[in-house]
Amino acid sequence: MRSVKTILLPAILLIALTGYVNAQCKAFAKRECLPKLISYTHDGNYHAAILVEGEEAELYKTFYSDMDYRVSIVGDEKLPDIEFRVLDSNKNVLYSNKDKNYSNTWDFKLQSSQQLKFIIKVPSATRSGQTPVNGCVAIMFGFKLKR
C-alpha cells in the first residue's frame, strides 16, 4: 500500500503542475502574442508550450486561398530569439524569419488553400556546462475578414 502512495502522489503532483504550467503559458500567449495580431481577427486558438534551448516544435495548420493572414510567434524574454520556418506540403520553405532579423510576425496570402508546416526552434545560446534555459513559446494566427 505504501508503494502505491509513493507512486500516486508524485504522479498527481506532476499532472497538477503540468496544468499550472500550461495555464501560465496560455496567459503568456494572451499577454505577449495576441497584441501582435492587431487589425487581424484572432482564430481563437492558443498554441503555447514550454521549450528548452535547442528544442524544436512543429505545428500543422490549414489556410485558405485569397485570405490575408498573420502569424505571430513570441518566446519568453529569457530565451534567445525564436526561429521559425514555414514549409508547404512539398517541403519548400515559404518563409524563414532567420532571413528577416528573427521577426516575430509574418503576413501572407496564399494562391491556393493548403496545409502549412510551422517549425519553431529555440536556438541554443547556452555555453557548455551550463543548464539550458527554458520558457514559454506561443504561436497565434489571425486573418482579415473580407468586406
CATH code of the domain in which 55 resides? 2.60.120.380
Mean pLDDT of 118-145: 90
pTM of the model: 0.80
Indicate the number of domains in the chain.
Answer: 1
Query: Which residues are within 8 A (CB) of 120 and not within 5 positions of it... i.e. 6 or more apart?
Result: 51, 56, 57, 58, 59, 73, 82, 83, 84, 137, 139
Enter the C-alpha cell of residue 67: 485570405
- The whole domain housing 70 covers 2-143
How does DSSP classify residue 99?
G
Cβ-contact 144, 39 below 8 angstroms: yes
- Per-residue pLDDT reduced to its tens digit, 63-84: 999 999 999 999 999 999 999 9
CA–CA gap between residue 53 and residue 122 (Å, rounded):
5
